[in-house]
Structure 1
Amino acid sequence: MKRRIKKVAVIGSGIMGSGIACHFANIGAEVLLLDIIPRELNDKEKAKGLSMENPAVRNRIVNDNLTAALKSNPSPIYNKKFADRISTGNLEDDLSKIKDVDWVIEVVVERLDIKKSVFEKIEKYRKPGTLITSNTSGIPIHFMNEGRSQDFQEHFAVTHFFNPPRYLKLFEVVPGPNCKQEVTDLLMAYGEKFLGKTSVLAKDTPAFIGNRIGIFGIQSLFHQVKEIGLTVEEVDKLTGPVIGRPKSATFRTVDVVGLDTLVHVANGIYENCPNDEAHDLFKLPEFIQTMMDNKWLGSKSGQGFYKKVKDKDGKSNILSLDLDSMEYTESKKAKFATLELTKTVDVVADRFSILVDGKDKAGEFYRKNFTALFAYVQNRIPEISDELYRIDDAMKAGFGWQHGPFEIWDAIGVEKGVELMKAEGKKPAKWVIEMLENDSKSFYTINDGATYYYDIPTKKQTKKPGQDAFIILDNIRESKEVWKNSGVVVEDLGDGILNVEFRSKMNTLGGDVIAGLNKAIDLAEKEYQGLVVGNQGANFSVGANIGMIFMMAVEQEYDELNFAIKTFQDTMMRMRYSAIPTVSAPHGMTLGGGCELSLHADKVVAAAETYIGLVEFGVGVIPGGGGSKEMTLRASDLFRKDDVELNVLREHFLNIGMAKVSTSAHEAFDLNILQKGKDVVVVNNNRLIAEAKKHALLMAEAGYTQPPKRKDIKVLGKQALGMFLVGTDSMNAGNYISEHDMKIANKLAYVMAGGDLSEATQVTEQYLLDLEREAFLSLCTERKTLERIQHMLKTGKPLRN
């Protein structure tokens, strides 16, 4: 279906509606955001003498909601400038404008009568063929379809975004009973390609897939917690990062989302799924009902499972709810012997079999929790989905799970999972027994770099659709490995393109990673066409291995440290000046050395959710891997005749000095870390490696030639240095920065000014790299720098000393 989505109307500007509007603006669509007019004037409007006919009054609700959304943190929008793509209006004066849009998305309150009233109004102005979708999370489509025209019904579906729409990847598409197949296909493809989502086709069943399974998991846990005798903190310890779930785990997540939201969905499932074998689990436990009665709803009400209080000294403390006494008590650190056994196991999937074998309360919890989950999801096929992979996709994209239920079951072993279920009094589904009898021992297999899933009707492994646009490194690592050491794996992506995948802890750049990068460039220059640097970890790289720097500095091994920094710089320069095109594919946190690597690639293909910046000031040094040099070079390239060059340089200096990190890849263009006309942004993270490969291949096939080394970088010498030194001195005098902050800033000033040259001069990159390395080394001799590094290593937070 050839269709361009240029303009979208969003009806309803609440938290969800404004978030959806912002995300469409993120991807370049023009958005019309509409809401109701106020019932009466507020005090401010009365004081100004405004009438109900005033446009500002009539659009007050929509404008206030959008303003609140744009001020929220984390931001719903990639770059504040993108908000200009959103125009606002109200349902009485502006609804006729929907005749010009390609897609209408309804996001009004979850009441059928209100939705039907809105659809009736929409039909008056909607152009035939226009897509029309609802963001409902539970109202059956056939009810919403009642009274609508045939064309409306043929183009009507549910498109269920998860909140916040920018960050949560799940996009459930639920076609109406009369929805055209081409419309369903278009929505699924659009969600993946343009919105950057994981599109999951769901059936018109209560709570669809994500919330049906997710709310079951939380409700099941609510009922288990007292039975096993676990505290709120203990449950959050057991259900967080150790099993590949968000840090907020269970109870903190409920506090953030709001207990009332969860209860609303649970009640809906309880009322609308009378034949669900776990029906009684959706009934609220007594302690949840008490919390609802007390309005302890979480963050929105100031207390939920956790409560923040201040002691007499004004220091904040977090209290947790005792589920027996229903009183708040001091939080206690949770500790279990079973979890200790997983500390050395870095791969989350490898932990599950250890956890269910635990002999303590944690082991008992995991056995009960996982078997309840396995028993539930097996019975939801074909009720909520015909394919098991859709359930896994929904849980990973909607709830931030690293592994879906069937993937966890696979990691434990399907047969062992069945044994555990039987031990807990759970009955395996007929199709699971048949699968094992057919000698199919897993739900998923990998074949030739592609994922296959067990298809229940055909009783065989079937290729999961939609993978052609992706390169999944987990699937090709073993079969396509060209070279590896403890820090990297170099893989052949095909078509003459290699990939360097970091495999160090948090993808830090230490000696092994630098050696691996150099080896990959050697291999690519000899036998391949291009090189991608990309991985599919949680973050691209948190920077250089500061533990190694700390040890060398403490031992005063300055020659070795100088050599290590020089090697790092030389490797970055090889990224820039190799005989083959190099493409960096950053995503997530791309800090310090990770940012420097991207600065030196021929091209950056960045995920939209890339948080990139030079943050070395936080550990008491300046960027030492070419970052200080590169930002000086980039400032120089922006100098224009009759411009105030000092202002351009100052901006780049402040970006480093303030350790600025972009809140998205689009914001990185404003920091000149990404460059317009050269670097590109990809909305869907899953497509990142494939897109990077495509760009490397394009450069190679266009006849890539090694660029000449730069000797024309204009530095401003004493003129810039004087301005910077006066600025840092006044900042220190005003107590805005410490003495040590001033020392670091002055070292950076010396590098970016090109030293104390008497006049503006053209210098080489190597000249600036030598200044940068010298400054970095001298700061490593400072006690206060070592204190900062040590504090970061211990706490993960910067120290201001």
Structure 2
Amino acid sequence: MKRTINKVAVIGSGIMGSGIACHFANIGVEVLLLDIVPRELNEKEQKKGLTLEDKEVRNRIVNDSLQNSLKSKPSPIYHKDFANRITTGNLEDDIAKVSEADWIIEVVVERLDIKKQVFEKLEKHRKPGTLITSNTSGIPIKFMNEGRSEDFQKHFCGTHFFNPPRYLRLFEIIPGPDTSGEVLDFLNDYGKKFLGKKSVIAKDTPAFIGNRVGIFSIMSLFHMVKDMDMTIEEVDKLTGPVIGRQKSATFRTVDVVGLDTLVHVANGLYENVPEDEAHDLFALPDFIQTMMDNKWLGSKTGQGFYKKEKKEDGSSEIKSLDLDKMEFRDRKSAKFSVLEQTKTIDKLSDRYKVLIKDEGKAGKFYRKNFSALFAYASNRIPEITDELYKIDDAMQAGFGWEHGPFQVWDALGVEKGIEMMKAEGYEPAAWVSEMVDAGITSFYSVKEGNTYYYEIPKKEHVKVPGQDSYIILDNIRESKAVFQNSGVVVEDLGDGILNLEFRSKMNSIGGDVLDGINKAIDLAEKEYRGLVVSNDGKNFSVGANIGMIFMMAVEQEYDELNMAIKYFQDTMMRMRYSSIPTVSAPHNMALGGGCELSLHADKVVAHAETYIGLVEFGVGVIPGGGGSKEMTLRASDTYQKDDVELNRLRENFLTIGMAKVSTSAYEAYDTNILQKGKDIVVVNRDNQLTIAKKHALLMAENGYTKPIMRKDIKVLGKQALGAFYVGTDQMNAGKYISDHDKKIANKLAYVMAGGDLSEASYVSEQYLLDLEREAFLSLCGERKTLERLQHMLQKGKPLRN
């Protein structure tokens, strides 16, 4: 049957319930969010003379919860207007409305008795065939649907979102004993295609897949930290980005999530997996129990493993918990010589081998940590899943690991991993030894652009399902590369479309990347049909190589700097004025030059989680790669008869002057960085490149014609210049901006006004580019700009001077 989801009912408006409601609103679904009715008036309601029968009171819990969620940082919603897609109500007055829903999601407190009561009420109003799922993080699905009708049980299962639902991609689907295959297939597909998730069908075992392995990993570290006499700073240093984990690493992550949340799952595992070989690790160490007793739960209580304290001068400092004394102390720096050795190793999979060979404390830690993880993950098959790739998917999507356990093990070498494990007192699962004895020495392999995994029952590598619908750059880079230099790789995606992939440090745009862009366009114009710019880096691009700019400016090599900026501008213009269609596919951070490249593409296919903006003010300059020109042009294109043109130009001026960065791709429409009707947003990151390729191909097949350079850009001259100068004077006088901020803003004003022309005029793009480059160069001669550039290079954050 064809099933569509137009309306979802979410039952329970706590942190998870509101977050799930917001994410469905993100993708355009109408949401009904319900919660219980308060049993007594609060002080505010009493003062207003309200009664328990007033709707404002009856919906207080759900409304307060949703508003608190919408105010939280980071935001659970792509755009503030999307919250209008959510309607609130309560479980007494509005429960009948669930009959209009295509999918009912229960997100109430983790108590089986309460959940069963909720399901009994819902079944009275749910229409047959409606999906009904629970977001439980551990209660067995088989217990929840007891006593329910056949239709209910057929359409019921677990759908476990990870918190926060917008940002964490794992979507575990846990079938009940009677869940139909059609329901599972639909939810698996819907999670990927519409929710942008990594859908994983799990078995109905305690904590499912992600939390079972993830909580083991954290609890193992909790026990190890005392055994190895390590500080929390040392553990966080070793378990962060250096091994492809979140910057918040271990203890800071627990502070953010909440120690009580972790302990709840750990206690559940301790009670429910008595036969687990690592059962004792789920018991709380003494220091964790002390923290629970003291209510040191992390960010929610103001202190956990870390604590922010105010100093006498009003500034703040971070204190760390001494696990021996159970007192907060000054933070200690954690340094390990092996980490210095790995700084030059960009490829994460090559880093692991160096880390485990270290003879110091770090190496010992990694050998113990990886050995325990490998043994535990291998022993969970077939208990929690039959397929090893699902464990890796769950850890990547639910815990933000760049590589899951079996991928790390592969990087070290399976046999090397077994040798290391045995030295640490661990044994792999029997199926791993059987695999190696059969001559198969890796869990994964790549053939013809597809990833294969070792399927245990078949004792051979089989294709990971679901790949046919998307392109994996890691799998085609070597076989499909048509050009590469130190900054880029250009791959043939098939059907006449090339992909340009940045491979520079942080995907910054320097001379080698600009050369690569020009070469890719040359190749596409001669032999292909279109070009996509996409990559699999953590960020699309952090912008221009400011180190190069800083060195040229310090050495006062202004001719060379002028040539470099002109080359950047000319390259961006080639993105716009080539004879083939160009598509930019940004994700995560697309800043400065990365934003300018997208501004000049024929089309942008942005991932929903794209944080894009022109941030050059932070380093003391204006956008110099065509960004200032382009925002002037876009303002001009919006002018209409009898319009207040200056207001439209001012919006784009402020976008640059305030260094606005969108918190989602949808917000980028508000700043005119993305254009409605031209650029699109996709929610599924895995599908982004495939969709971008389709749009490049569609433009090519529709008879793409090389655009003509613009000479009809309306600039407002002195009218705009005077208004902008007055504005910067007022901001400076009010101490909102510094003298140097004012100087930068006035330079930008001069460019976007088209100079001090006596009246509104029409100019060319090249005219504006020349003004932009001149302003950029003049700012590079300013001492305060050099200070900002240097500070960004050294500290990684902007300086206000």
TM > 0.5 fold call: yes
Q: Distance in 2 between matches of 1:725 and 1:755?
A: 13
Q: Which amino acid aligns with 2:256?
A: V
1:24-103 equivalences under 5 Å are 24-103=24-103
Deviation track 1:20-52 (CA, whole Å, cap 9, x = no partner) reads 000000000000000011111111111111111
Q: How does 1:79-158 map to 2 (within 5 A)?
A: 79-158=79-158
* Matched residue, 1:533: 533
Question: 1:222 corresponds to which residue?
Answer: 222
Residue of structure 1 equivalent to 2:688:
688
| Counterpart in the other structure of 1:745 | 745
Corresponding residue of 1:407:
407
1:442 corresponds to which residue?
A: 442
Match of 1:362 in 2: 362
Distance in 2 separating the partners of 1:338 and 1:796: 23
1:303 aligns with 2:303: yes
Q: Tell me, what secondary structure is at the counterpart of 2:178?
A: coil
Cα offset, 1:428, TM superposition: 2.0
Cross-structure match for 1:515: 515
Unaligned runs of 5+ in 1: none
- The answer to whether the Cα contact below 8 Å between 1:338 and 1:359 also exists between their aligned partners in 2 is no
- Answering whether residue 777 of structure 2 is matched by residue 786 of structure 1, we say no
Aligned residues of 1:580 and 1:706 also touching (Cα < 8 A): yes
Q: TM-score, normalised by structure 2?
A: 1.00
Cα offset, 1:315, TM superposition: 2.1
Measure, in 1, the Cα distance between the counterparts of 2:662 and 2:91.
36
- Look up the match of 1:263: 263
Residue number in structure 1 paired with 2:164: 164
Within 1, Cα distance between the matches of 2:434 and 2:24? Answer: 45
Distance 2:424 2:794 in 1: 42
Q: Counterpart of 1:84 in structure 2: which amino acid?
A: N
Distance 1:680 1:312 in 2: 50
Matched position secondary structure for 2:604: strand
Task: Tell me the SS of whatever aligns to 1:611.
Answer: strand
What is the 5 A alignment of 1:446-485?
446-485=446-485
User: For 2:479, what is the secondary structure of its paired residue?
Assistant: coil
Alignment-derived partner of residue 398 in structure 2: 398
Tell me if 1:279 matches 2:279. Answer: yes
Aligned to 2:768: 768
* 1:3 to 2:13 alignment: no
Per-residue CA deviations over 1:208-227 (Å, capped at 9, x if unaligned) read: 00000000001111111111
Written as runs of structure 1 = structure 2, the 5 A alignment for 1:628-639 is 628-639=628-639
Q: Does 1:353 align with 2:353?
A: yes
The alignment partner of 1:665 has SS state of: coil
Distance (Å, rounded) in 1 between the aligned partners of 2:487 and 2:340: 25
C-alpha distance in 1, partners of 2:49/2:313? 47
Shift of 1:615: 0.3
Give 1:466's aligned amino acid: G
Superposed, 1:508-587 pairs within 5 Å as: 508-587=508-587
SS at match of 1:52: coil
With 280-289 and 310-319 compared, the bigger mean Cα shift is at 310-319
> Take 2:624 and 2:190, find their aligned partners in 1: how far apart are those partners?
42
Whole-angstrom distance in 2 between the partners of 1:664 and 1:337: 39
2-side partners of 1:450 and 1:57: how far apart? Answer: 56
How far 1:58 sits from its partner (Å)?
0.7
Q: 1:372 maps to what in 2?
A: 372
Q: State the Cα deviation string for residues 129-177 of structure 1 (Å, max 9, x = none).
A: 0000000001111110111000000000100000000000000000111
Query: Secondary structure of the residue that 1:583 maps to in structure 2?
Result: strand
Distance in 2 (alpha carbons) for counterparts of 1:751 and 1:430: 69
- Counterparts of 2:251 and 2:727 in 1: how far apart (Å)? 47
Separation of aligned partners in 2, 1:762 and 1:338: 60
Q: State the AA in 2 paired with 1:117.
A: Q
> What is aligned with 1:331?
331
Q: Distance in 2 between matches of 1:260 and 1:796?
A: 34
Q: Give SS of 1:766's match.
A: helix
Structure 1 residue matching 2:478: 3-state secondary structure: coil
1:203 partnered with 2:203: yes
Q: In the aligned structure 1, how far is the partner of 2:647 from the partner of 2:680?
A: 27
Q: Which moved more, 1:334-343 or 1:701-710?
A: 334-343
The 5 Å alignment of 1:596-607 reads 596-607=596-607
Task: Give 3-state SS (helix, strand or coil) of 1:477's partner.
Answer: helix
Aligned mates of 1:654, 1:24 — CA distance in 2: 32
Q: C-alpha separation between the residues in 2 aligned to 1:465 and 1:404?
A: 18
Residues 568-596 of structure 1: per-residue CA shift (max 9 Å, x gap): 10111110010000000000000000000
Identity of aligned residues (%): 77
Q: Which runs of 5+ in 2 are unaligned?
A: none
Letter in 1 for 2:427: K
1:86 positional shift: 0.4
Give matches, 1:633-782, under 5 Å: 633-782=633-782
Show CA shifts across 1:38-92 (max 9, x none). 1111111111111111111111111111111111110000000000100010000
Q: Equivalent residue for 1:177?
A: 177
1:421 offset after TM fit, Å? 1.0
TM-score by length of 1: 1.00
For 2:52 and 2:191, the matched residues in 1 are separated by 39
Structure 1 segments, 4+ long, off by >6 Å, are none
| Residue 705 (structure 1) shift | 0.6
CA distance in 1 between counterparts of 2:283 and 2:739 reads 60
SS state of the match for residue 160, structure 2? strand
Aligned partners of 1:488 and 1:500 also within 8 Å: yes
Partners of 1:428 and 1:233 in 2: how far apart?
30
Q: Give yes or no for contact 1:37–1:61 (8 Å, CA) kept in 2.
A: yes
> 1:202 corresponds to which letter in structure 2?
A
In 2, the alpha carbon distance for the partners of 1:8 and 1:466 equals: 26
* CA deviation vs aligned residue, 1:718-772 (integer Å, no higher than 9, x gap): 0000000011011111111111101000000000000011111111111100100
